[in-house]
Amino acid sequence: MSPETVTPVRKPRAGDPRGRVDAPWQVIVLNDDHNTFEGVAHALAAVLPGIGFEEGMSFANRIHSSGRAIVWSGHKEQAELYWEQLQGRGLTMAPLERA
């Protein structure tokens, strides 16, 4: 007889009835009247891994046209670090949100 494989099931933590224990955190930049497109693009490129100036400009356009953009999503600790670094570079940040 072969042993049966049992897949463990993660149960939601107390206080999280929707079961979003592993839901990623979203870093959201808001539109404002004091940052330039280039300034936003440079800040994003300097802080977020894999983001170059051109992609930063794309995000800047999205932030300008929609009022906000999710610029990164992932683990809470990393989201907090990126949030703080972007705010430190003068970007207007929304509070961290779970996806």
Tallying the residues shown for the chain, one arrives at 99
pLDDT band (50, 70, 90) for residue 22: confident
Contact 53, 14 (CB under 8 A): no
C-alpha span between 10 and 87 (Å, rounded):
34
Q: Report pTM.
A: 0.79
Q: Is the pLDDT of residue 10 over 50?
A: no
Q: Is the pLDDT of residue 94 over 80?
A: yes
Q: Is the pLDDT of residue 87 over 70?
A: yes
Of the candidates 62, 64, 60, 61, the one whose C-alpha atom is nearest the C-alpha of residue 42 is: 60
Rounded to 5 degrees, φ, ψ at 80 are -60, -40
Mean pLDDT of all residues belonging to the chain: 88
